[in-house]
Chain A
Amino acid sequence: MNHTSKFRTIIEPGRIERNYWQDIWRYRELFAFLAWRDILVRYKQTVIGVAWSVIRPLFTMIVFTIVFGKIAKLPSAGVPYPILVFAALLPWQFFSNSLSEASNSLINNANLLTKVYFPRLVMPASSVIVSFIDFLISFVILALLMIWYQFVPSWRIIMLPLFFFLAVAAAMGTGLWLASFNVKYRDFRFVVPFIVQIGLYISPVGFSSNVVPEQWRLFYSLNPMVGVIDGFRWAILGGESTLYWPGFVVSNVVVIILCLSGIWYFRKMERTFADVI
């Protein structure tokens, strides 16, 4: 007769909740609302608003094209250099934005964390959505660039969502680790911009990963973004660009490990977030 029994909750220390994922599903609307809030606030407070999401990738692309393409004269496998750079900037900017957003999401929403319950995973996950909007805007720029250079992509472009998913997993995995660290060690927030800055140069954004010497290729692929960026280039540039499969597999494995361990660590730590934040 008890109509409420389907919501029975048992609270115990260290209890592993079997319905955690079910809970996340129940809080999907909160997830959407938080993302919606972040997007609204973001475009409300800035003067140039959406233009900002256009200017940033565009200027980075121009600088990289000049530095790596014109000055260093790195090979571009027969593709216009701006398109080569932009195909990599797309996943990189998505990755770096969502990484910074996700790792700060808990600190920035400390007041929510200490006042209401929701599966804490919702927070970093929803902050990734905001970066997705920027990604879409950048994608339009890429399309315009392709029209400008009269570059026709091959059938491989339909594989792009798959590689995008890989980028999400890489960003989430790293983001979850950093977010948990950020709550515990408050000076970790200085580490995140550092990682992003270094990452830009050690990932094949301004250049093709083909310029890396053969014997270092596999080692280089330990950087999860190498697989993601190579995948993006393979799908967007088509024809000439080839995928270095052993490296791609290594990158994928690293992403999967990062993502699973990130979720594991986050869930281990989330019970104490409200006490330490």
Chain B
Amino acid sequence: MNTIIKVEGISKSYLISHQKQERYVALRDVIADNAKSFGRRIAHFLDRNGRAKNSQATQEEFWALKDISLEIKEGERVGIIGRNGAGKTTLLKILGRITEPTHGKITIDGRVASLLEVGTGFHPELTGRENIFLNGAILGMSRSEIKRKFDEIVDFAEVERFLDTPVKRYSSGMYVRLAFAVAAHLEPEILLIDEVLAVGDMQFQKKCLGKMEDVSNKEGRTVLFVSHNMGMISSLCEKCFLLDMGQVEKEGKTSDVVMHYYTSGVQSPGQVDFSVNGRPIGDEYAILLAAEIRNEKREISNEININESLSVLMKFQVKKTNKFMPNVHFFTGEGLYAFDSICPDAKVLKPGEYISTCQVPANFLNDGTYFIGLALASAGEGIILHFFEKSALSINVKDPIEGTPGRNGYGGPIPGVVRPLLKWNINNTDKKN
């Protein structure tokens, strides 16, 4: 088999600014900063023995990728896993030519289509029919190609009746189905997919995966697949790369790499500090600072017993007063959405640092690994999502079997996402004599 993608020593650095909170540069700031540094230079000039007072270190280099080298062969389906901030998406963006690497060289033999988001370029005012053409063109299909596959796409998405309805009137399920259907019919030599299959209902996800697997097997298409969903990665990819801190931690057979991910320290820990490096997570209203899981004894832990309660603590900084609603999202190790919980009453918070605590009761989760996503929304003028960090934390729920309530001596596995201890009654319905 030919090598289709050859990555040699790729690095990517971002400049992150600590002082300024704006995500973009404003001309007025540039002028103001230049005036300031000019003033500082004059002051420096006058104060001969004063060393460069770098009191305001405004920018810091952050390496999203550090010297990555890898080779991918034609027709392979390759998974890329790793925790948040490991550089997975950055790697896909460089391969898709969306952003440029800082160092290194990549040779790609074939056309590339990147699927970093579901329904990129969908316009709410346009009809389903119009959006199929638009989205297809954005993803790199030619008009004749879209025309040829149009019926197939509509069929796949199951939206025939709504073809001439603007997509803003679609249900979210229909929207996602239509977007996937277009993507599933792409025919480039190389397909880059980022996490997009994490939405949509399970049945449709399976249909999409089936379609992609089909095309990959029959037509020898190369697929690169970033996901947190280990179940999906395992079923779709034969080969896998594990990224950590911008470097390749392990590569090889998917089962080996996934195992390594779960057993080594690379997996999401019970405690995480978001302020140390990386770009700040959040927006101009609030940013995520840190999070941890505590057990019943208030100790930080990423392992609890099934009959213990646990608390998810999230520390965040509020920058603008608003009515905030913290929420946590639980996913199973297979990527299934277990549940999400939103702080029931939104609170008006003034600028400052806060810690929200969400307590998950004992005898609620089933045994297994859960990934916890952290999010903060506000309900000021409309609902705004300030951040949503998926799989920020992970927790391993253990079942000691011996003495577990509800087992009554049964030692086998108990299926299900949750295992709540519910109230039961058994009444005798025999007629009283």
Which A residues are within 8 Å of any B CB, using their own CB?
2, 4-5, 7-14, 29-30, 33, 36-37, 40-41, 44-45, 111-118, 184-188, 271-272, 274-277
Known: A29-B137, A112-B138, A185-B30. A4 touches B4 (CB 8 A): yes
Complex interface: chain B residues within 8 A of A2 (CB): 2, 109
- Say yes or no: A40 contacts B126, CB within 8 Å: yes
The 27 sampled A-B contact pairs (Cβ below 8 Å) are: A4-B111, A8-B109, A9-B108, A9-B112, A11-B100, A12-B101, A14-B100, A33-B138, A41-B126, A111-B121, A112-B121, A114-B93, A114-B116, A115-B120, A116-B116, A116-B121, A116-B138, A117-B97, A117-B98, A117-B114, A118-B138, A185-B27, A186-B22, A188-B27, A271-B99, A276-B24, A277-B24
- Verify if B259 is at the interface (C-beta below 8 Å from A): no
Nearest CB in chain A: distance from B2 CB, A: 6
- Verify if B306 is at the interface (C-beta below 8 Å from A): no
Complex interface: chain A residues within 8 A of B106 (CB): 9-12
Nearest CB in chain B: distance from A24 CB, A: 14
- Say yes or no: B99 contacts A275, CB within 8 Å: yes
Known: A115-B98, A115-B114. 8 other contacts (CB 8 A): A5-B109, A9-B107, A9-B108, A11-B97, A11-B106, A41-B123, A116-B120, A116-B140
- Verify if B296 is at the interface (C-beta below 8 Å from A): no
> Roughly how many angstroms separate A231 CA and B384 CA in the complex, as a whole number?
51
Complex interface: chain A residues within 8 A of B109 (CB): 2, 4-5, 7-9
> Roughly how many angstroms separate A12 CA and B94 CA in the complex, as a whole number?
10
- Say yes or no: A13 contacts B139, CB within 8 Å: no
Contact with A along B376-391 (1 / 0, CB 8 A): 0000000000000000
- Say yes or no: A11 contacts B126, CB within 8 Å: no
> Roughly how many angstroms separate A44 CA and B127 CA in the complex, as a whole number?
11
- Verify if B26 is at the interface (C-beta below 8 Å from A): yes
B25, B27, B30, B108: the one within 8 Å of A11 (CB): B108
- Verify if B130 is at the interface (C-beta below 8 Å from A): yes
- Say yes or no: B26 contacts A185, CB within 8 Å: yes
Return the chain B residue nearest A119 by Cβ: B97
B14, B98, B189: the one within 8 Å of A7 (CB): B189
> Roughly how many angstroms separate A111 CA and B122 CA in the complex, as a whole number?
10
Known: A4-B4, A11-B105, A186-B25. A37 touches B97 (CB 8 A): no
- Say yes or no: B108 contacts A13, CB within 8 Å: no
Using a CB-CB cutoff of 8 Å, which residues 84-103 of chain B contact chain A?
93-103
Complex interface: chain A residues within 8 A of B143 (CB): 29, 33
- Say yes or no: B93 contacts A274, CB within 8 Å: yes
- Say yes or no: B138 contacts A114, CB within 8 Å: no
Nearest CB in chain A: distance from B236 CB, A: 21
Complex interface: chain B residues within 8 A of A14 (CB): 100
- Verify if B104 is at the interface (C-beta below 8 Å from A): yes
- Say yes or no: A29 contacts B96, CB within 8 Å: no
- Say yes or no: B102 contacts A13, CB within 8 Å: yes
> Roughly how many angstroms separate A4 CA and B110 CA in the complex, as a whole number?
5
- Chain B, interface size: which category? 35 or more
> Roughly how many angstroms separate A43 CA and B63 CA in the complex, as a whole number?
45
- Say yes or no: A115 contacts B125, CB within 8 Å: no
Complex interface: chain B residues within 8 A of A187 (CB): 26-28
- Say yes or no: A274 contacts B98, CB within 8 Å: yes
- Verify if B179 is at the interface (C-beta below 8 Å from A): no
Return the chain A residue nearest B135 by Cβ: A33
Return the chain B residue nearest A10 by Cβ: B107
Complex interface: chain A residues within 8 A of B110 (CB): 4, 7
Contact with A along B1-36 (1 / 0, CB 8 A): 010100000000010000000101111101000000
- Say yes or no: B114 contacts A272, CB within 8 Å: no
Return the chain A residue nearest B14 by Cβ: A275
Nearest CB in chain A: distance from B35 CB, A: 16
Question: Which 6 residue pairs of A and B lie closest in terms of their CB atoms, listed nearest first?
Answer: A185-B27, A117-B97, A33-B137, A11-B106, A4-B110, A186-B24
- Say yes or no: B108 contacts A274, CB within 8 Å: no
- Verify if B133 is at the interface (C-beta below 8 Å from A): yes
B25, B95, B107, B120: the one within 8 Å of A8 (CB): B107
- Verify if B142 is at the interface (C-beta below 8 Å from A): yes
- Say yes or no: A116 contacts B98, CB within 8 Å: yes
| Residue of A37, A118, A276 with most chain B CB atoms under a 10 A cut-off | A37
- Say yes or no: A114 contacts B101, CB within 8 Å: no
Complex interface: chain A residues within 8 A of B134 (CB): 33, 36-37
- Verify if B155 is at the interface (C-beta below 8 Å from A): no
Complex interface: chain A residues within 8 A of B97 (CB): 9, 11, 117
Nearest CB in chain A: distance from B331 CB, A: 24
Nearest CB in chain A: distance from B258 CB, A: 27
Return the chain A residue nearest B27 by Cβ: A185
Nearest CB in chain B: distance from A44 CB, A: 5
Return the chain B residue nearest A183 by Cβ: B24
- Verify if B219 is at the interface (C-beta below 8 Å from A): no
> Roughly how many angstroms separate A112 CA and B119 CA in the complex, as a whole number?
10
Nearest CB in chain A: distance from B322 CB, A: 22
